[in-house]
Amino acid sequence: MERGVDRGAESDPRAPYEHSLPGHVDDRGTAYIGAPPRRVVSLVPSLTEAIAATDPGLLVGATGWCTHPPGLDVTRVGGTRWPDLDRVRGLGPDFVVANAEENRDEDVAALRAAGIPVWVTAPATVDEALTSLGRLCVVLDRPEPAWLRRVHDVWAAPPRVPSATAVVPIWRRPWMVLGRDTFAGDVLARLGVRNVFGDHADRYPRLAKDDPSAVTADLVVFPDEPYAFTADDGPEAWPQCRPVFVSGRHLTWYGPSLAEAPAVLTAQLTG
């Protein structure tokens, strides 16, 4: 959940795919067939950072939200929710990376209908993210890059904060919070913080205007994206919780930032 909510991605039978090929299957069970990609467009900020850290020469396009690595010099193709598909097609990519939460089903289907392979990720836990990133690197013919080995090492035994409960807003007007089966929720759990909405029926529950003040939690954890909460915009609705401001990139991105995430987040959660 970098900047969207779960929509899911569907396979298009007209695309150059088959199913269940070992080692070359994305998170939605759709397989890539062909030579290792050499012209990649990324529609996901964390995957842009991951591919750039693995082999920056592979990237020819990325969204305007792809801010890492700083100074990345590729063609920008619009936003994650509303990419400019004509610009994507015009770059002649042989591979596009997308995410089931970040990107719309119809855009994935349109690119596949144009004959462009689209690799869709959908990790809901840290372990799923590491597996997903490993499969992507294999497809790119760049298995086990140093940054990914480092991430595995860091998350084998991450630091933990004193046990606490938290609510994690991701939007307001209306209020939306992290619910069940979210990557960010698993990151926090691995660090010792339990999401009080973790058993909710929805992945991103919506709250009524007056609901926040009735939530029982030790912390209210404000990431700086997708909504840019500040000390003057957010905490006043949750007077019963200690406000904590954290890096959205380290909480919600899965890629090289995961190597820094435990240290950055635990410092912010306890600071």
Give how many domains the chain has, as a whole number.
Answer: 2
Distance between CA atoms of residues 81 and 259, nearest Å: 27
Q: What is the CATH number of the domain that holds 50?
A: 3.40.50.1980
Same domain, residue pair 143 and 181: no
Same domain, residue pair 56 and 92: yes
SS (H, E, C) 222-235: EECCCCCCECCECH
Identify the CA nearest to 55 among candidates 140, 134, 152, 130.
140
DSSP 18-85: -B--TT-B-TTSBBP-SSPPSSEEE-SHHHHHHHHHH-GGGEEEE-TT---STT--SEE-B-SSSB-H
pLDDT band per the 50, 70, 90 thresholds, residue 5? very low
Domain assignment of residue 33, yes or no? no
Distance between CA atoms of residues 240 and 111, nearest Å: 47
Distance between CA atoms of residues 187 and 252, nearest Å: 8
Q: What is the pTM of this model?
A: 0.90
Q: What is the mean pLDDT of residues 238-242?
A: 98
**Does the pLDDT of residue 223 top 90, yes or no?**
yes
pLDDT band per the 50, 70, 90 thresholds, residue 1? low
pLDDT band per the 50, 70, 90 thresholds, residue 271? confident
Distance between CA atoms of residues 43 and 65, nearest Å: 9
Identify the CA nearest to 245 among candidates 214, 220, 213, 218.
220
Q: What is the mean pLDDT of residues 108-116?
A: 98
Domain boundary among 99, 132, 154: 154
Distance between CA atoms of residues 135 and 206, nearest Å: 34
Q: How far is CA 268 from CA 110, 188, 248, in A?
A: 41, 12, 12
Q: Provide the 8-state DSSP code for 163.
A: P
Domain assignment of residue 14, yes or no? no
**Does the pLDDT of residue 163 top 90, yes or no?**
yes
**Does the pLDDT of residue 23 top 60, yes or no?**
no
Q: What is the CA radius of gyration of the chain?
A: 19
pLDDT band per the 50, 70, 90 thresholds, residue 8? very low
Which domain range does residue 118 map to?
40-154
**Mean pLDDT value across the chain:** 92
Same domain, residue pair 137 and 168: no
Domain assignment of residue 53, yes or no? yes
Domain boundary among 92, 127, 154: 154
**Does the pLDDT of residue 215 top 90, yes or no?**
yes
Same domain, residue pair 131 and 215: no
Q: What is the mean pLDDT of residues 63-92?
A: 97
Q: What is the mean pLDDT of residues 54-62?
A: 97
Identify the CA nearest to 184 among candidates 129, 115, 116, 260.
129
**Does the pLDDT of residue 18 top 60, yes or no?**
no
Distance between CA atoms of residues 82 and 43, nearest Å: 10
Residue 24 confidence (pLDDT): 86
Q: What is the mean pLDDT of residues 243-257?
A: 98
Q: Which residues of 241-267 are buried (b: 16+ CB within 10 A; e: fewer)?
A: beebbbbbbbbbbbbbbbbebbebbbe
